[in-house]
Amino acid sequence: MFDKFREECAVMGVYGHPEAANMVYLGLYALQHRGQESSGIVSSDGKILISHRQMGLVADVFKEDVIKRLEGPSAIGHNRYSTTGQSHLRNAQPFVVEYSQGPIAIAHNGNLVNAQVLREELETSGSIFQSTSDTEVIIHLIATSKESSLMGRVVEALSRVRGAYSLLFITLDRMIAARDPMGFRPLVLGKFKAGKNRDGFVVASETCALDLIEADYVREVEPGEIITFGPKGMESLRPFPAAPHAKCIFEYIYFSRPDSNLYGRSVYQVRKELGRQLARENGVPADLVTPVPDSGVPAAIGYAEESGLPLEFGLIRNHYVGRTFIEPQQSIRHFGVKIKLNAQRAVLQGKRVVVVDDSIVRGTTSRKIVRMLRDAGAKEVHMRISSPPTISPCYYGIDTPTRSELIASSSSVEEIRKFVDADSLAYLSHDGMYVFVKGKTEGFCDACFSGNYPVHFEDEGHTRQLHLFDALQQR
Ligand code: 5GP
Ligand code: SF4
Ligand code: MG
């Protein structure tokens, strides 16, 4: 079985830089929010591929001696996050394999929708899988391809997979970047500033990684594009028929860093615009606006600007919360949220509060936040969400829970309001979500908010499971 649609990831690659692995390390650091479970880098010194993969955060995985060992002018890296039981080192990327023409490594962000079908086919004809990750399918397709050139093999392999992929490969003398024809997951191209480090290229999930290493943003890797970086420079190929684009809207709403430039727009500015629209659609008499930090901050700024209400930080976030902590005794209420957020009485006492967040998933955190605001003296709590209700899971590489766990899949807004115990609750409208492109919805995926999936999930077992969830919803 695969670790299906339960992965969030970052990819980062550098070609033609004397300290490639070091640059990739810094890029992965900037992309830590996209995956916190494992991290890995594979570099090429021209003779061999050198690999280091480990469970943990980027800062813990790569120490000075490890980076020193990752020699050579090209390197790719990966951060991975998964919440299922399949959180093993063997699923950590980049994957490295040896095939008839030498070693190759791969790093993948996204999820394939036909990986199970392809895996069964490959196993029947003798391929032996080492992981439960869908990404390994791509490597086996490349290794078993009858094409002679590397590019031929990559094109053939990618023509067989469906779904979401933003990919990086390296071989001894090349780096390849590829993005699926619908462009679900982001991928950007950058270049080191002229004269500084020869003609080095960078490819990364988000532009915030380029900023850190002082590379210039060139453009997006286009949906359906395959770029090869080699001794002769950069070459772009578009071997597949054009498809309607389905760029992930949720990257704007929650997932990308606000300081990234995504699909040609500032994430921060888009989030502010969503907050403004939220205020236009769902204004309410109140004394102040407060964000749920960090993800709700830009939308709350927009909401406050539009509504003319003061913005206050009624919730303060502890930025040093790690992934593990000692479970408290039952007697400490709401501990899980309290360790991360604290409500300030000095700001909230006696106030009518609009609390702005980007989304509600299960509703359990939101419920605790409302309680914390009330406990700190808020007189009224009006929850405002800068996206429409999250009603469906993502199959394209964002770790949303199953349909049955999404509170909005089976509850009305009024039922959710009761559950989170707010005085009022309102979400951004579906049309309002597209305010930043003047209502033009083409080119985006919004399946988790609309249930309209641009590519259907083809794997037998899971399709059946999803039908079961749907059947349960009918009751
Ligand atoms: P809930 O009330 O549904 O338990 O939690 C809502 C919070 O979850 C919001 O603050 C939102 O920013 C956050 N959130 C939304 N989507 C995701 C996601 O995909 N992963 C994680 N870890 N948090 C998310
Ligand atoms: Fe993004 Fe939602 Fe589409 Fe997944 S389903 S790619 S999270 S918009
Ligand atoms: Mg949040």
Say which CATH number the domain at 308 has: 3.40.50.2020
Q: Ligand 2 centre and the CA of 194: distance in Å?
A: 37
Where does residue 454 fall: left (phi above 0), alpha (psi -120 to 50 degrees), or beta otherwise? alpha
pLDDT band at 471; cut points 50, 70, 90? very low
388 DSSP assignment: -
Tell whether 456 is covered by a domain: no
How does DSSP assign 49-91, residue by residue?
A: EEEEEEES-HHHH--HHHHHHS-SSEEEEEEEEE-SS---GGG
| Pairing label, strands 166-170, 188-192 | unpaired
Distance (Å, whole) CA 60 – CA 34: 16
**Structure confidence at residue 338 (pLDDT):** 85
Whether 88 and 148 share a structural domain: yes
Taking every pair of Cα atoms in the chain, the longest distance, rounded to a whole number of angstroms, is 73
Whether 326 and 430 share a structural domain: yes
Nearest to 89 by CA among 138, 58, 56, 60: 56
Tell whether 405 is covered by a domain: yes
**Structure confidence at residue 466 (pLDDT):** 43
Taking residues 346-368, report their average pLDDT: 97
Label residue 324 exposed, middle or buried (CB < 10 Å: 0-12, 13-18, 19+). Answer: exposed
Q: Check: pTM over 0.85? Answer yes or no.
A: yes
pLDDT band at 198; cut points 50, 70, 90? low
Tell whether 50 is covered by a domain: yes
Please tell me the residue having the least CA distance from ligand 2 atom 4: 394
Testing ligand 2's pocket by substitution, the residue of 400, 448, 449, 457 carrying the most ligand atoms inside 8 A of its CB is: 448
Q: Which residues lie across from 261 on neighbouring strands?
A: 266
Tell whether 173 is covered by a domain: yes
Whether 319 and 241 share a structural domain: no
pLDDT band at 400; cut points 50, 70, 90? confident
**Structure confidence at residue 457 (pLDDT):** 80
Long-range contacts of 84-89 (CB under 8 A, 24+ apart): 84/3, 84/6, 86/3, 86/6, 86/132, 87/37, 87/38, 87/55, 88/131, 88/132, 89/38, 89/53, 89/54, 89/55
Whether 204 and 284 share a structural domain: no
Whether 242 and 272 share a structural domain: no
Testing ligand 1's pocket by substitution, the residue of 254, 274, 390 carrying the most ligand atoms inside 8 A of its CB is: 254
Token representation of residue 469 = 């969830």
Whether 277 and 327 share a structural domain: yes
Tell whether 474 is covered by a domain: no
- Residue 383 clears pLDDT 80, i.e. is over it: yes
Catalytic residue flag (residue 394)? no
**Structure confidence at residue 86 (pLDDT):** 57
Whether 353 and 409 share a structural domain: yes
Task: Kindly identify the ligand whose nearest atom is closest to the C-alpha of 317.
Answer: 3
Q: If residue 116 lies in a helix (H) or strand (E), which one and from where to where?
A: helix 115-124
Distance (Å, whole) CA 229 – CA 20: 14
More confident residue, 19 or 193: 19
Q: What is the CATH number of the domain that holds 223?
A: 3.60.20.10
Q: Ligand 2 centre and the CA of 456: distance in Å?
A: 13
Please tell me the residue having the least CA distance from ligand 2 atom 8: 446
Ligand 1 atom, smallest distance to 358 CA: 12
**Structure confidence at residue 399 (pLDDT):** 85
Nearest to 378 by CA among 330, 317, 424: 424
> Is residue 7 in contact with ligand 1, taking CB distance under 6 Å?
no
**Structure confidence at residue 334 (pLDDT):** 63
Q: Which residues lie across from 404 on neighbouring strands?
A: none
- Residue 287 clears pLDDT 60, i.e. is over it: yes
Cα 242 to chain centroid, rounded: 24
Q: If residue 301 lies in a helix (H) or strand (E), which one and from where to where?
A: helix 297-307
* Averaged confidence pLDDT in the chain: 91
Q: Ligand 3 centre and the CA of 205: distance in Å?
A: 21
**Structure confidence at residue 474 (pLDDT):** 33
> Is residue 363 in contact with ligand 1, taking CB distance under 6 Å?
yes
Tell me the percentage of the chain whose pLDDT exceeds 70.
90
Distance (Å, whole) CA 107 – CA 95: 7
pLDDT band at 323; cut points 50, 70, 90? low
**Structure confidence at residue 467 (pLDDT):** 39
- Residue 1 clears pLDDT 80, i.e. is over it: no
Nearest to 201 by CA among 179, 155, 170, 224: 170
Please tell me the residue having the least CA distance from ligand 1 atom 24: 361
Distance (Å, whole) CA 369 – CA 383: 10
Cα-based distances in Å from 153 to 75, 121, 133, 137, 237: 21, 17, 20, 13, 14
Taking residues 130-147, report their average pLDDT: 92
**Structure confidence at residue 89 (pLDDT):** 86
Distance (Å, whole) CA 392 – CA 408: 9
Whether 72 and 14 share a structural domain: yes
Cα first-last separation, the chain? 29
- pLDDT tens, 236-245? 999 999 999 9
Whether 232 and 321 share a structural domain: no
**Structure confidence at residue 224 (pLDDT):** 98
Cα 278 to chain centroid, rounded: 24
- What's the domain count of the chain? 2
pLDDT band at 465; cut points 50, 70, 90? very low
Whether 277 and 149 share a structural domain: no
More confident residue, 133 or 250: 250
Q: Is 289 helix (H, G, I), strand (E, B) or coil?
A: strand
CB 371 within 8 A of CB 377: no
Domain enclosing residue 293, as ranges:
268-450
Tell whether 407 is covered by a domain: yes
- Residue 325 clears pLDDT 60, i.e. is over it: no
Q: Ligand 1 centre and the CA of 117: distance in Å?
A: 31
Label residue 265 exposed, middle or buried (CB < 10 Å: 0-12, 13-18, 19+). Answer: middle
Tell me the percentage of the chain whose pLDDT exceeds 90.
83
Among 3-7, 104-108, 250-254, 383-387, whose mean pLDDT is lowest? 3-7
- Residue 322 clears pLDDT 80, i.e. is over it: no
Whether 23 and 154 share a structural domain: yes
- pLDDT tens, 86-102? 567 888 999 999 999 99
Whether 301 and 216 share a structural domain: no
Q: Which residues lie across from 53 on neighbouring strands?
A: 40
